[in-house]
Amino acid sequence: MNPRSLRSAPDSSALVSGIMAGERAVLARAITLIESKRADHQTAARALVQELLPRTGDAVRVGITGAPGVGKSTSIDALGTYLTGKGYKVAVLTVDPSSRRTGGSILGDKTRMPRLASDTNAFIRPSPASGTLGGVGAKTRETMLLTEAAGYDVVLVETVGIGQSEITVADMTDFFLVLMLPGAGDELQGLKKGVIELADMIAINKADGDNLPRAKLTAAEYGAALHILAPASPNWSPPVVTYSARTGEGVAALWTHILDHRQKLTASGELAARRGAQQVKWMWAMLEERLFAPLRSDRALKNALPKLEADVASGRLAPAAAVEKIAAIFKL
């Protein structure tokens, strides 16, 4: 829905009742409200989230990442379809940073997940970042809460699998699933330690046909790599599994591991503690975004920035000195 369709002040009570009733059109409209940059819409969105907050928190929140070509969307389509077949309601949110050159976003998620797109028990929503992962992190978190209030049992959050986006998604979910391809080889050697440290499970996709032996070998190699690292949780040792999004083989096992993880972390109290820490991080991320918003729109800064950036880029001005000049504009 185009944000321009929200020209008038939204009826918060109608949004709350519609979301609670699981009305998809109302949920979509509420998410559009959250994504709007209009001051009155932002005020209404904050009030909406606050009112719905007591009705959130019951869903299983799963972050999913992987390098381009690993089959994230096909995997989400397969896992989500498996879950709706078991009676779950599934929401899919995608953290999709916009192009820094054009400002556009690649939002073809519904064409990449054809079965879920036509499933009445599934809801797919992309979150264009407009170049700021902090902003999209906050909006995706709020969207997640709205889907939970609307009765969705599982929220799958897909990241593009590039740097900071992985940390952003790991910081808003209960379980972080890292997808890999068969044939680790040099990829294993160059694998970012940070991604492995974030993983609650590594799953090797395309484990079918002639690929199956390679997938099993790759799983063994990643399993060995994980043993070198201390687990992030004292209550969970990340498994390495194989599956095929194309055939569906092993998809049920992915969900079994996710539920096992949830049961263990809930019993130990770690899940509640993790979610509490995530809420605090969310608060600080939103505060940072709020504080920086006036800076980005300030006319004096906009006029000064081109020369400051050119001077820094050319080496005529040190970055620290440039920051001092910017601070002086705001009398900081």
Over residues 1-41, the pLDDT tens digits come to: 444 455 566 788 899 999 999 999 999 999 999 988 888 99
> Strand (E) positions, the chain?
60-66, 90-96, 122-128, 154-159, 175-180, 201-204, 240-242
Q: What is the average per-residue pLDDT within 275-299?
A: 84
- The answer to whether the beta carbons of residues 235 and 265 sit under 8 Å apart is yes
**Residues 267-279, mean pLDDT to the nearest whole number:** 95
- The confidence score (pLDDT) of residue 252 equals 98
pLDDT at 191: 53
Cα(302)–Cα(289) distance, integer angstroms: 18
pLDDT band at 177 (very low <50, low <70, confident <90, very high): very high
Cα 82 from Cα 227, distance rounded (Å):
31
Query: Please, which residues bridge with residue 126 across strands?
Result: 94
Q: Which pLDDT does position 139 carry in this prediction? A: 84
Angle at 199 between CA 66 and CA 116, to 5 degrees: 50
- pLDDT tens-digit profile of 227-258? 887 788 999 999 999 999 999 999 999 999 99
Residues 122/2, Cβ–Cβ less than 8 Å = no
Residue 125: what are its φ and ψ, rounded to 5°?
-145, 120
Residue 204's beta-bridge partner residues?
A: 180, 242
Domains for the chain: give ranges and CATH numbers: 1-54 (1.20.5.170), 56-268 (3.40.50.300), 284-329 (no CATH)
Checking if the pLDDT of 99 tops 60, the result is no
Output 223 or 86, whichever has higher pLDDT.
Answer: 86
Kindly report, residue by residue over 302-315, the tens digit of the pLDDT: 888 899 999 999 99
The predicted-structure confidence for 56-78, as pLDDT tens digits, reads as follows: 999 999 999 887 788 999 999 99
Least confident of 86-95, 96-105, 112-121, 278-287: 96-105
Which run of H or E residues covers position 320? helix 319-329
- Asked if 159 contacts 95 with a C-beta cutoff of 8 angstroms, the reply is yes
